[in-house]
Amino acid sequence: LRAADGTIGTTIFAEMSGLAAGTGAINLGQGFPDEDGPAVVLDAAMRAIADGVNQYAPGRGFPDLLAAIAEHQHRFYGLRLDPERDIVATAGATEALAATLLALLDGPDDEVVVFEPYYDAYAAAVALAGARLVPVPLRWPDFQPDLDRLAAAVTDRTRVILVNDPHNPTGAVFTPDVRRRIVELAEQHDAIIVTDEVYEHLVFDAPHVPIATLPGAWERTVSISSAGKTFSVTGWKIGWVSGPAPLISAILTVKQYLTYVNGSPFQPAVATGLRLPDAFFQGIATALREKRDILGRGLSAAGFDVSTPSGTYFTVADAAPLGATDAADFCRALPERAGVVGIPLTAFASPENRAEYATLVRFAACKRVDVLDEASRRLSLLG
Ligand code: PMP
Ligand code: GLN
């Protein structure tokens, strides 16, 4: 049993949020906002419940949600999706990832090239599919992959190149060269690109570029996103997967047996959110950028070396200047020492590569400004 042999253990998020709850520390570990999303979106969910949208949704999702997803991808990226064939709504990006990897992978001869550190659900889903993970390192402080290492990792055994852009846990946004090279390598080796873009609207410097929009990419790319981050509703677990109809159809086949369907009254609410004016989407990126800067200044003042993320909820800080030699030990002690929780980057790496990230810690900036100020004050007493 993979769950019993240690291949798949308790997620770091459960461990660290438990530590935060147990100690009363400020939780800059698990990435979730501490303020609700837009009132029109919340109201739409309450209205849907009151209006009786409480039974099973259709297998792909309600047609109006699928239409809203297609409209959103056309408005922001110029993509033209067929809502009835190219999209499936899922129980968050997590189920989209699991259904996609289970649909596409076929045992130990299939390899998945993944950028390390990686979101922990990736390794678990690849393990459940019985396939092999081939990590390509992203290195401090810019966390862009070395293109030669990437090219060496992709071979004819590669079934999937698993992309996460903007990237959790590093906050990196891939450069145009990296994106182009991924598509070239996928074409050369006939691999499928699976791209997790849940932070698509949380980018700080330039508009997000989905890899599916690159020349040659669409026909071999499965794109995954979710409402959780964009609308500050991480507990709703409404996600979606989009791409060419034959791939999406295989993924739907698997999804039926994972959850069948999910989140009926939240689906119309997410459709409302996806149709909000551009100003909403610009506003969330601007607000988060300010929070990133507040957290970054606080961490620097406390003595960390700090990387500057281009997107996502997260900032990576090096605790070596504070005397840390092992980020996991440092993070387990941090609630007692400073009343703050962070996540060691080693939790996002394969055991054999953890040394690369030994002293790095991920902190979440998606909190109220007064909470970030208080966390900064507490961390300043670490020294
Ligand atoms: N992918 C990444 C990169 C994430 O950070 C998260 C966490 N929110 C997920 C997937 C899971 O998303 P959801 O909550 O929609 O399942
Ligand atoms: N995506 C969030 C994070 O990276 C939460 C993940 C989770 O709780 N599974 O912190």
Q: What is the average pLDDT across 340-365?
A: 96
Of the pLDDT bands very low, low, confident and very high (cuts 50, 70, 90), residue 334 is very high
Is the pLDDT at 3 greater than 90? The verdict is no
Distance 239 CA to ligand 1 centre (A): 9
- 18-44, pLDDT tens digit by residue? 999 999 999 999 999 999 999 999 999
Of the pLDDT bands very low, low, confident and very high (cuts 50, 70, 90), residue 372 is very high
> 191, 148, 193, 138: which is closest to 168 by C-alpha?
138
Residue given tokens 């259904």 in the structure block: 99
Q: What is the average pLDDT across 156-179?
A: 98
Q: What is the average pLDDT across 74-87?
A: 98
Distance 234 CA to ligand 1 centre (A): 8
What is the pLDDT at residue 11? 86
In ligand 2, the atom with minimum distance to the C-alpha of 228 is 1
What is the pLDDT at residue 5? 55
What is the pLDDT at residue 124? 95
Residue given tokens 């970030």 in the structure block: 372
Is the pLDDT at 383 greater than 80? The verdict is no
Q: What is the average pLDDT across 256-260?
A: 97
Range list of H helices, 111-198: 120-128, 147-153, 176-189
In ligand 1, the atom with minimum distance to the C-alpha of 238 is 15
Q: Which CATH class is domain 39-274?
A: alpha beta
d(CA 383, CA 379): 8
Residues with CB under 6 A from ligand 1: 92-94, 119, 164, 168, 196, 198, 226, 228, 234, 237, 239
Q: In the numeric block, which tokens belong to residue 273?
A: 């959110």
What is the pLDDT at residue 4? 52
Cβ contacts of 5-8, under 8 Å, gap ≥ 24: 7/127, 8/124, 8/127, 8/128
> Left (φ > 0), alpha (ψ -120 to 50) or beta: where does 107 sit?
left
In testing the pocket of ligand 1, which one of 119, 238, 267 has its CB within 8 Å of the most ligand atoms?
Answer: 119
DSSP 307-326: ---SBSSEEEEE-GGGT-S-
Q: Which fold has domain 12-30+279-380?
A: Aspartate Aminotransferase, domain 1 (3.90.1150)
In ligand 2, the atom with minimum distance to the C-alpha of 31 is 10
d(CA 348, CA 117): 5
The 132-137 sheet, strands edge to edge? 87-91, 238-242, 221-226, 192-196, 158-164, 111-116, 132-137
What is the pLDDT at residue 6? 56
d(CA 313, CA 203): 10
Burial 47-78 (b: 16+ CB within 10 A, else e): ebeeeebeeebeebbbeebbbbbbebbeebbe
C-beta of residue 323 within 8 angstroms of C-beta of residue 90 = no
Give first-to-last CA distance, the chain, whole Å: 44
Of the pLDDT bands very low, low, confident and very high (cuts 50, 70, 90), residue 353 is very high
In ligand 2, the atom with minimum distance to the C-alpha of 119 is 4
Nearest CA to ligand 2 atom 4: 31
Nearest CA to ligand 1 atom 12: 93
Q: In the numeric block, which tokens belong to residue 244?
A: 């060419």
Of the pLDDT bands very low, low, confident and very high (cuts 50, 70, 90), residue 1 is very low
- 90-104, pLDDT tens digit by residue? 999 999 999 999 999
For residue 43, the tally of other CB atoms under 10 A from its CB is 12
DSSP 338-381: HSEE-EEGGGGS-GGGGGGGTTEEEEE--S-HHHHHHHHHHHHT
Q: Which residue has the higher pLDDT, 9 or 262?
A: 262
Domain ranges of the chain: 12-30+279-380, 39-274
Query: Phi/psi at 162 (nearest 5 deg)?
Result: -100, 115
- 295-316, pLDDT tens digit by residue? 999 999 999 999 999 999 999 9
One-letter amino acid identity for 104?
L
For residue 108, the tally of other CB atoms under 10 A from its CB is 10
In ligand 2, the atom with minimum distance to the C-alpha of 364 is 10
In testing the pocket of ligand 1, which one of 88, 116, 120, 198 has its CB within 8 Å of the most ligand atoms?
Answer: 198
Nearest CA to ligand 1 atom 5: 168
In testing the pocket of ligand 2, which one of 10, 12, 32 has its CB within 8 Å of the most ligand atoms?
Answer: 32
One-letter amino acid identity for 79?
L
Query: SS3 helix, strand, coil % of the chain, rounded to 5?
Result: 45, 15, 35
Residues with CB under 6 A from ligand 2: 11, 13, 30-31, 168
Of the pLDDT bands very low, low, confident and very high (cuts 50, 70, 90), residue 10 is confident
User: pTM of the full predicted structure?
Assistant: 0.97
